[in-house]
Structure 1
Amino acid sequence: MKNLFTALFALLLPVLASAQFSVSGKITDQQTGEALPGATITIQKQAISIMSGAGGNYAIANLAGGTYTIAVSYLGYKSAQKSIIVSANTTANFTLSHNSILTEEVTVSATRASANSPTAFTNLSKKDIDKNNSGRGFEYLLEQTPSTVVTSNAGAGVGYTSIRIRGSDATRINVTLNGIPLNDAEDQGVYFVDLPDLASSVDNVQVQRGVGTSTNGAGAFGASINIQTTTRRDTAYAEINSSAGSYGTVKNTVNVGTGLLGGHYSFDGRLSNMTSDGYIERSGSTLKSFFLSGAYYGKTSVLRLNVFSGYEKTHQTWDGVPEDSVKHGNRRYNELGYINSSDTYYNNQTDNYNQNYYQLLYNQQINSKLSFSGALHYTRGYGYYEEFKNDQALTDYGITPVVVGGITINNTDLVRRLWLKNDFYGATYNFNYKPNNKLDLTLGGAYNEYRGQHYNNIEWTQQSTNILPDYEYSRNNAKKTDFNIFGKAEYHIGNVLLYGDVQYRHIYYSFLGYDQNLKNVQQQVGLNFFNPKVGITYNLDMNNNIYASLAVGNHEPNRSDFVNSSPASRPKAENLKDIEVGYRTIQSNFSAGINGFYMLYKNQLVLTGALDDVGAAIRTNIKDSYRAGIEANAKVKIASPLSWYANATLSTNKVKNFQQFLQNYDTNTLDATQYNKTDIAYSPNFTGSSTISYQPLKNAEIAFISKYVSQQYLDNTSTQSRSLPRYFVNDVRLNYNFNVKGIKNIGIGLLINNVFSAKYQSDGATYPDIEGGKVVNYNYYFPQAPVNFLASVNIRF
């Protein structure tokens, strides 16, 4: 222990010796002289960034003597910077003038938390994104944020990837792209595989944990992810990004942009192509995308048109690897697509999907106090997954058995395609009124409409069935409308920020489901939600604040909940009350936060193993369940070239009075087991992340990245034999940038994942039943790859 303290003191000694002076000042409006609270003050090349306090004041302590460049920015104002020489405690005041060209931050500001909002959030800048954009799924950019678990179906980060935040999967995470909903309207999931290499066209991201602020689209039960794509770049550029690595992974991206032409116009474009064989057998991916954007910048307005598209073809690994195979060492075994359990498999066992997006974004500064932001959008999606099915009954597909050579054919092997074509369109808007620097009012909302066509075809049969090519054996159409309106306000009283937010949301859903007589008929459901939120932030001083909030969220059942039920068994909507209490501090060489949360659910929907009145597996409402925990994060600059960022979440996640049903094949019945209090599935009690960054040279970085996730259960019974073991995995990231004549920058990167080849599974599923008088577990896991790498090069002109 003595040696440990000695080592820590030695590391900190240079900081203690040189941290002698402070810089402080006030940020004000040039015309009115009013203070500007929440302005961003940055010391360039020092990774120091703070916000001005309620009176517009700021202070940065513990600075060594020297010359510094301080930059100040504030929404709606021109940025300003000063170069100052620090040889004693120094005062540097800034007066900002209104921006003559509107910024695009207002596009997403209505659905984001502000700097001092009483909610838990993490912001990622373009610099953060570019540093980690090696080609893996978009979710991996967020892996080091608090309470987050990311996994890959194929095991190597390419193809289908997914995220959970505070134990909630993507169906309970609200995701918006430029304020426009990205969640699927019916199943409410988010599939970033449909937008390959989206990260290369993203400017910034905010992750809000818990209910968060009002937003558009699906209800936020675990978190909100708010993404903003390309914004204005004033100079022309061209970039070539290429990555290559383990398991045949190759990514090529070209980015081009004109910069600001004639003071008003800009055009940006991206083209991406990615392929990977995947770690799991037959988990290969072919991914393509493009992004085009054009903007007009007026004195008080911005008009931007985004057109982008994604295509994915992935082999199916949805079921994971069977537990027996994992135990015997074959962690890559994929049983999907095998024919008659032989060594022959169906090569085209694939998922195929296209999505085309169109967004028209408009921002208008109406006057010095009032601004408007709105968007029109349209998304067209179409595709299918194709699969081999063994020994299928013809009557299940509406086919009359045929007689061939005197033999009646009732069953056959076949290949089928399950199609989805959908259209999603609508409008979002918000008005922001800021009469002074004490009050900030926002009125916003959206109307969106979804139309989905679900139909299934048979492509091939082993036996003769006399059906036409592309025989369609089922079809159903769905329509969903989603209307919401919200208002929120922030009001500063001295050192206190008062926050209020209220949203009304109405959903109408028309679908093909079962009526009281178990006949398939088109049905309709209407739901109305009221989501109020209140909070308070108290600024202890310019660098420290405490906050508390109470928020209510509501979440509708998904497509399968409605389609596979009758009015008698239809589940209720879920309700969440979220209490958050926290503390934040921002110092010159240190920033940290601690946040406590208590999330109380009513009628949370969970799978129980029961079958509904039409024989399909159902989710059922659990009356009481909760999540309670503490999230902590800190970033410290230990010495000039060395910094450390870490976060940790300790939580308890419980379901009360849970009843599980298991199919008993001995008696052909469903047997129920009652549990008093158990853990919510896929909810680790502890997650932790660490990034130690060292810069041996000015343009070089070595980062050691660690992730720990404690044990997770695959169902809601806390059964040890149906769980994912804890895991601890470490990565190394190397970056080096330099330039040569004629080339602005050449960046070389190397990402080494799982450097110690830990054997772990980050996701899975379980299907237990009763056979021979005992419970038999059918567990499936998603093993992640041992040590693997991605090398990248970026050339910028």
Structure 2
Amino acid sequence: MKHILLLWLLCSSTVLYAQNSLEGVVKDKATSAVIPGVSITIAGSSAGTQTDANGHYKLTVPAKGSYRLQASFLGYRTFTATLTAAASPSTHNIELEHIGLFVQPVEITSLRAGKNAPFTSSTLDAEEIKKQNLGQDLPMLLNQQPGVVTASDAGNGIGYTNLRVRGSDITRINVTMNGIPLNDAESAGTFFVDLPDLASSVNSIQLQRGVGTSTNGAGAFGATLNLSTNEFRDKAYGEISNSYGSFNSWKHTVKAGSGLINDHFTIDARLSKINSDGYIDRATSDLRSFYTSAAYISKKTAIRLNIFSGTEKTYQAWYGVPEALLETDRTNNPAGTEKPGTPYDNETDNYQQDHYQLFLNQEINSHLNFNVALHYTKGRGYYEEYKTKQAFADYGLTPPEINGAPVDTTELVRQLWLDNDFYGTVFSVNGTGSRLNWSLGGGWNRYEGGHYGKIIWAQYDIDKDRRYYDVDADKNDFNIYWKGEFKVTEALRLFADLQYRNVQFNINGFEDNPELIQNNTYNFFNPKAGVYYYLNDRSQLYASFAIGNKEPNRDDFEAGQDQTPQHETLRNVEAGYSFRNSRFSLQGNVYYMNYKNQLVQTGKLNDVGAYTRTNIPKSYRAGIELVGSVRFNKVFSFTANGAFSQNKVKDYTAYLDNWDTFGQDTVHFGNTDISFSPSVVAGYTFTIKPVKELDIDILGKYVSRQFLDNTGSDDRSLDAYYTNDVRLRYAVPQRLFKELSVQVMVNNVFNTKYEPNGSTYLSVSGGERVSDNYYYPMAGTNYMVGLTVGF
């Protein structure tokens, strides 16, 4: 019945919205050379296509009235023409005028998967990002991407958030910004809370699932996230954006740009402030950031300097809600409750991160160019906590005597500091030819991290700001790669990618074990190969095989004091098919990710809220991902995606703490599910555009059961959940401003109770297995309303 209804909708929409076809060839106005990859759109509609290798395009256009045709391509002035609908298929050739400046984004461009690359990826452009950017952290904006699961410590998407792709967490996702690594060198994680409102400066986000192409920084074991901020804008602009919503959440953003000054210079700037009380008790956020960028652009040279910074102060909410309180007190926050009486009011995380990026893009000739960048990141901050009944001996102190009797413990407030520097260079040389396109690139990066703790207050007399531990770490990361695409025929392309990576990771002790010294060197070879087949201008096929290797992170070394964790190896097979016409698109891919010594989350938390992991000799992820869209008519369109997978540990053995014997029990579970790896992740967006100025999106998200550890027990799992959101954007018709728009977002409209994240600790007590489970609930129905004024 559902299939019949869908077929009826498709047929009826065709009748309601009569259309015809338009085709033509796009050429360079000066040279008459055809231009492939030009974006061709109908203004005010979702109709669009790209020119093929011969510069040819064909798309569906209205059969009645007039419409505006647009053609745009990097380095050329946008072409616009108003055409009158014809009763039969018609032809319209286009000539584009070259701007005469080197205007491609000034970044390390070789890291992104090109349109012919045989890897699984999706891209969000600036318009899609803007539609949902009302203050939530950047991972939340990716929630509708295939295989993606997002969560928020505070429960409303502001503050600390996390992201998983195909079950792999953020420590397995390589993140670069303009080609420069963003992952923390020690933990391998990316903390977007340190760069609040980054989405307001991002022009494009590409998410590669799987190993993907060679990139700089941490190895990609689940996905690669490429962020781009360096888009050229030739016209001056200004924008003020403000939003307010549930839990006293505010976002204020001011942006401005000079456009092109004296035909060569541009300046862009942004200032942001975000505040929220959070859904979870005391999970407040006070976030501030700025972004500035200045560029010099000539015919063959582009130089850009980016300076940006973020400051965050968040009340800790990383412990989760105990299972016993989940039904009666969903917003419970254990942080700060060690203090007798009311919770400690400054149990906060405080951090500032400053970034400096300098780029040079140089065209040598029409077939050869190179990019080089220098970068430096300064990070410093601490989290503060109240600790009760702390033994003096644990802090290297002699217990004092009070009234002649020794006192062994004290109340105290401590700060755990991180002061780090990350700097280096990345580069690529890029060549294009009639049959071979290639890139030679790489980078060298160094991290220097200082870890120390100090006591800022104690119940008894202790020197203020006494340091009780001080340990350092450093890491050198060098990589070089060559990747090439060879055109065998007009339809068939072969891809190869070879990367060598050398990592030296030195850790001079930990807070709880200052004598544990780790000095490790890794040499990785990461080859990749694939094939791309162009069936026609609507259909393409691809397949690839890639190997990735990744070193353990700092927490792995700290958690494994008895043995040094081994590096991981991943063998990834991807194959996919895509079809697209003016009204319908379908992409499907299958994947198999086979791991050797995968470091898998056990569900146990250490004292800073990080998951500890252990090497699993054999494990795999296998699945199919589908993405489709259909435009019924000019009012209704629908997009959906689904990821269906198996994620298995082969022959899993767990080691449980036994509190009866004060030893460990060895328990064999056989083949089990990998933790935090749902077998089904699906989403949809139903868009209604009743008038030109109004977009209404109805969004749905389904995530199946997730296990908190690798034992496959429902007692230690997160229930499946299905949520719905509504998003509205209205562009107010007026002549005073370049843009005046109102946005409304209502999340979780049916007030679903769900938890996308959690933790567990499995042990043996009283002869029985006991689970201590903690959950991170998301808010019920909540909203954000925003107003944007553009000049």
Pairing 1:543–2:538 present: yes
Normalising by structure 2, what TM-score? Answer: 0.95
In 2 relative to 1, CA 31–440 (structure 1 residues): closer, same or farther, beyond 3 Å? farther
Letter in 2 for 1:624: K
Please point out which of 510, 524, 527 is paired with 1:532: 527
Partner of 1:321: 321
Aligned to 1:59: 58
Secondary structure class of the residue paired with 1:130: helix
Partner of 2:160: 160
- 8 Å Cα contact 2:106/2:230 also seen in 1: no
Which of the residues 687, 698, 714 maps onto 2:681? 687
2: distance between equivalents of 1:123 and 1:240?
Answer: 26
* TM-score normalised by the chain length of structure 1: 0.94
How far, CA to CA, are the matches of 1:519 and 1:644 in structure 2?
57
For 1:468, the equivalent position in structure 2 comes to: 463
Cα deviation digits, residues 495-514 of structure 1 (max 9, x gap)? 11211111111111121149
Aligned to 1:117: 117
Judged with a 3 Å threshold, the aligned counterparts in structure 2 of structure 1 residues 489 and 363 are, in CA distance, closer, same or farther, namely same
Q: Which amino acid aligns with 2:496?
A: G
Residue 431 (structure 2) aligns with: 433
Q: Does 2:490 correspond to 1:491?
A: no
For 2:578, the equivalent position in structure 1 comes to 584
Deviation per CA, 1:74-117: give whole Å up to 9, x if none.
45555545544442222334455655111233624311111122
Matched position secondary structure for 2:632: strand
Residue 702 of structure 2: aligned partner: 708
What is the alpha-carbon distance in structure 2 between the residues aligned to residue 337 and residue 622 of structure 1? 35
Checking the alignment, whether the CA contact within 8 Å between 1:513 and 1:564 is kept in structure 2 is no
Check if 1:504 corresponds to 2:503.
no
Match of residue 364, structure 2, among 366, 374, 377 = 366
Is 1:442 the counterpart of 2:439? The answer is yes
Select between 674-683 and 35-44 the one with higher mean Cα deviation. 35-44
Instruction: Find the aligned partners of 2:432 and 2:535 in 1 and give their Cα distance.
Output: 24
**Counterpart for residue 547 of structure 2:** 552
- Residue identity opposite 1:405 in structure 2: N
Contact 1:51 1:115 in 2 (8 A): no
- 1:54 deviation in Å? 3.9
The amino acid across from 2:568 in the alignment is E
Secondary structure of the residue that 1:131 maps to in structure 2?
helix
Letter in 1 for 2:501: R
Give the letter aligned to residue 446 of structure 2: E
- The equivalent position to 2:773 in structure 1, one of 762, 770, 779, is 779
**What is the distance in 1 between the residues matched to 2:738 and 2:97?**
32
CA gap of 1:770–1:702, structure 2 versus 1, over 3 A, is same
**Deviation string, structure 1 residues 387-420 (Cα, Å, up to 9, x no partner):** 1111111111111122221111111121110000
Residue 456 of structure 2 corresponds to residue 459 of structure 1: yes
Say if 2:331 is the partner of 1:335: no
Report what 1:50 is aligned to.
Answer: 49
Match of 2:40 in 1: 41
**Aligned to 2:102, what secondary structure does the other structure show?**
coil
Matched, 1:629 2:615: no
Say if 1:773 and 1:414 are closer, same or farther in 2 by CA, change over 3 A: same
Which segment is superposed worse, 169-178 or 288-297? 288-297
The 2-side partners of 1:511 and 1:573 are apart by 16
- Offset at residue 60 of structure 1 (A): 2.1
- How far 1:765 sits from its partner (Å)? 0.3
Structure 2 residue matching 1:721: 3-state secondary structure? helix
Distance 2:272 2:498 in 1: 40
Q: What are the residue-to-residue correspondences of 1:649-688 with 2, within 5 Å?
A: 649-688=643-682
The CA RMSD measured in Å over matched residues stands at: 2.2
Give the one of 757, 762, 767 matched to 1:768.
Answer: 762
Question: Secondary structure, in 3 states, of the residue corresponding to 2:757?
Answer: strand
Cα deviation for residue 582 of structure 1 reads 0.5
Secondary structure of 1:666 counterpart = coil
CA–CA distance in 1 between the matches of 2:741 and 2:108?
30
Q: Give distance in 2, aligned partners of 1:292 and 1:768.
A: 48
Contact 2:106 2:231 in 1 (8 A): no
Q: In structure 1, what residue type is equivalent to 2:528? A: K
Tell me by how many angstroms 1:157 deviates.
Answer: 1.0
* SS of residue in 2 equivalent to 1:783: coil
Against the structure 1 CA distance between its residues 312 and 665, is the aligned structure 2 distance closer, same or farther, given a 3 Å change threshold? same
CA contact (8 A) 1:513 1:565 kept: no
- Cα distance 1:571–1:86, how it changes in 2: closer, same or farther (>3 A)? same
Asked if structure 1 preserves the Cα contact closer than 8 Å seen for 2:107 and 2:230, the reply is: no
The AA in structure 2 aligned to 1:497 is R
CA deviation after TM superposition for structure 1 residue 586, in Å: 1.5
> 2 CA distance for matches of 1:81 and 1:617?
54
What is the CA distance between 1:275 and its match in structure 2?
0.8
Q: Is the 8 A contact 2:106 2:360 kept in 1?
A: no
Name the CA distance, whole Å, in 1 between partners of 2:603 and 2:82. Answer: 66
Cα 1:324–1:791 change in 2 (3 A) is same
2:388 to 370, 386, 390: 390
Partner residue of 2:411?
413
Q: For residues 508-536 of structure 1, give each alpha carbon's deviation from its aligned partner in whole angstroms, at most 9, with x where no partner exists.
A: 1121149xxx9826542111111111111
Q: Distance in 2 between matches of 1:648 and 1:219?
A: 26
Is the CA contact (8 Å cut-off) linking 1:608 and 1:660 kept in structure 2?
A: no
Q: What corresponds to 1:228 in structure 2?
A: 228
Output one character per residue of 1:247-277: Cα deviation in whole Å (capped at 9) or x when no partner: 1101111111111111111111111111111
Distance 1:13 1:610 in 2: 55
Residues 633-642 or 712-721, more deviating = 633-642
> What secondary structure sits across from 1:282 in the alignment?
coil
How many Å separate the matches in 2 of 1:346 and 1:739?
Answer: 50
How many pairs are equivalent?
Answer: 784
Does residue 357 in structure 1 map to residue 355 in structure 2? Answer: yes
Amino acid at match of 1:197: D
- Report the AA paired with residue 387 of structure 1: E
Distance 2:56 2:69 in 1: 14
1:759 aligned partner: 753
- Closer, same or farther in 2 for the Cα pair 1:65/1:739, shift >3 Å? closer
**519 and 392 in structure 1: CA distance in 2 versus 1, 3 angstrom threshold:** closer
The 3 A distance-change label for structure 1 pair 10 and 446 is closer
Q: Is the 8 A contact 2:672 2:710 kept in 1?
A: yes
Contact 1:511 1:563 in 2 (8 A): no
Distance 1:53 1:75 in 2: 16
Q: Compared with structure 1, are the counterparts of its residues 793 and 20 closer, same or farther at alpha carbon in structure 2 (3 Å cutoff)?
A: closer
Distance 2:759 2:292 in 1: 39
1:554, 1:410 → 2: CA distance? 48
Query: Following TM superposition, by how much is the alpha carbon of 1:43 offset from its aligned partner in structure 2, in angstroms?
Result: 3.0
Shift of the alpha carbon at 1:176?
Answer: 0.4
Letter of the structure 1 residue corresponding to residue 12 of structure 2: L
Unaligned runs of 5+ in 1: none
| Alignment CA distance shift 1:617-1:585 (3 Å) | closer
Question: CA-to-partner distance for each residue in 1:225-266, whole Å, 9 max, x for gaps?
Answer: 100114222222221111111111011111111111111111
SS in 1 for 2:556: helix
Residue 288 of structure 1 deviates from its aligned partner by: 0.5
Provide the C-alpha distance between the structure 2 equivalents of 1:30 and 1:602, rounded to a whole number of angstroms: 55
Give distance in 2, aligned partners of 1:732 and 1:339. Answer: 40
Separation of aligned partners in 2, 1:644 and 1:43: 18
After superposition, the Cα gap between the structure-2 partners of 1:533 and 1:67, relative to the gap in structure 1 and judged at 3 Å, is: farther
Q: Which moved more, 1:145-154 or 1:454-463?
A: 454-463
